[in-house]
Amino acid sequence: MSDYILLVVSCIFVNNILLMQYLGNCPFLGVSKRMETATGMAMAVVFVLVLAGAITWIVDHYLLKQFGFEYLRTLAFILVIASLVQFVELFLRKSIPALYAGLGIFLPLITTNCAVMGVCLINIKEEYTFIQALITSFSYAVGFGLALILFAGVRERILLARVPKPLQDTSIGLVGAGMMSLAFFAFKGMV
Amino acid sequence: MAKTVVQEFTKGLWAEIPPFRLVLGLCPVLAVTKTVENGVGMGIATTFVLVCSNVLISLLRSTIPKQVRIACFIVVIATFVTVVELVMQAFAYPLFLKLGIFIPLIVVNCIVLGRAEAFAAKNGVVASFADGLGIGIGFTLSLTALAIFREILGSGTFTIPISSVSIPVFGPGFEPFTFMVEAPGAFVCLGLMLCIMNMLGKK
């Protein structure tokens, strides 16, 4: 049990996917300008990442490894993720329109979010069991959401500040992300 | 014709140089620029994928149905990424281990898919080749510039690409500025470089 708690803490804080593993930075800078879009994106990532983590693990263990097709991993994973995103989009539109209204526009963006693919590959590389893979996928996604929402708060403040012209927009965003990353850096000694 | 091809090539080197002008594909930029060697290796791998996928997609652009084009592009890109993975495992295994999951992650690099969608799907083979090569070389240059900056300040060395020889830049009394090679330094460094680019030239 304590192993699992350790895994959760290390995935959310110590190895935060955005600020420590450098994955998923395009949506991080793209949608963090407003709080609502950041929240929507964070929820969509949690939803898709847990599903993708579970399915790619099954595909890897019961299809690719069984028949010795490991070299097709990249191709197989991206296809699984792309079709999963499409499927989730259709499913939500049909059965849970309220949730679709919230997540809708963020879902297609997730296909090219390297955090999703990255976590699926980390799960395989670290040779996690199915339960561990599920927990890591969920915790990494929560870590992503946490960093994204915190950062959106910071950026809403930056909008009010007087920033020198060349530093505006993405540039100051990156410097701000660096400062946040420094804060998360302090967790490093914990686990 | 010849002039436009040259233009397609050179725009990737300055006017639309990724990731500064096109803010896409930031993850590999931040992650692999700890040493110059990694930066150059990643740049070359991405350039290869970019050129090959641009050419193939441009050849197939009238065959691919509009509705499923993104899926087709991803399959094409993933195929070339697999080629790169296998080639690197065979001929550059140490570098392959250092770059780790960032090699398969070229698939989800927005620059590659972005060029396929915005350029190769609409233009001829020669122009797409020039575009892919230009953007790829621009990307490699940016990675190298950032890596030189980070490696020299962060660990006080300069690793010559391919030969893996590290040359100490400063004297023995140099205290490495570790901040630069860790995650926070990557963000701040890229942010400041973007600022310098903004100061140098208006679009």
User: Per residue in A36-77, pLDDT tens?
Assistant: 888 888 888 898 999 999 999 999 999 998 888 888 899 999
pLDDT at A188 over 90: no
Test mutation, B26, B85, B96, chain A, max A CBs within 10 A: B26
φ and ψ of B175, to 5 deg: -95, 115
Find the CB nearest B107 among A117, A170, A174: A117
- Predicted confidence at residue A122, as pLDDT, reads 92
Instruction: Give the closest-approach CA distance of B15 to chain A in angstroms.
Output: 17
Angle between the N-to-C axes of helices A130-160 and A2-9, in degrees from 0 to 180, rounded to the nearest 10: 30
pLDDT at B37 over 80: yes
Test mutation, A174, A182, A188, chain B, max B CBs within 10 A: A174
φ and ψ of B166, to 5 deg: -95, 125
Residue B158 bridge partners (DSSP): B167
pLDDT at A94 over 80: yes
Domain count, chain B: 1
pLDDT at A114 over 60: yes
Q: What is the ipTM of this complex?
A: 0.85
Instruction: Give the closest-approach CA distance of A75 to chain B in angstroms.
Output: 5
Residue B159 bridge partners (DSSP): B166
pLDDT band with cut points at 50, 70 and 90 for residue B1 = very low
CB A102 within 8 A of CB A36: no
* CB within 8 Å: A178 and B24: no
Structural domain range at position B126? 2-200
Mean pLDDT of B27-42: 88
* CB within 8 Å: A171 and B182: no
φ and ψ of A119, to 5 deg: -65, -40
The tokens for B43 are 């740049």
CB A173 within 8 A of CB B191: yes
Mean pLDDT of A86-95: 86
A88 vs B56, more confident? B56
Mean pLDDT of A78-104: 84
Nearest CA to B25 out of B120, B159, B151, B135 is that of B135
* CB within 8 Å: A125 and B190: no
* CB within 8 Å: B198 and A172: no
User: Minimal Cα distance from A121: which residue of B?
Assistant: B101
Any chain B CB within 8 A of the CB of A167?
yes
- Predicted confidence at residue A76, as pLDDT, reads 92
Mean pLDDT of B99-126: 89
Nearest CA to B95 out of B157, B168, B34 is that of B34
pLDDT band with cut points at 50, 70 and 90 for residue A191 = low
* CB within 8 Å: A171 and B192: yes
Find the CB nearest B27 among A19, A22, A165: A22
User: Rounded CA gap, A49 and A188, in Å?
Assistant: 24
Cis peptide before A166 (omega within 30 of 0): no
The tokens for A77 are 């994973």
CB B164 within 8 A of CB B40: no
- Predicted confidence at residue A104, as pLDDT, reads 67
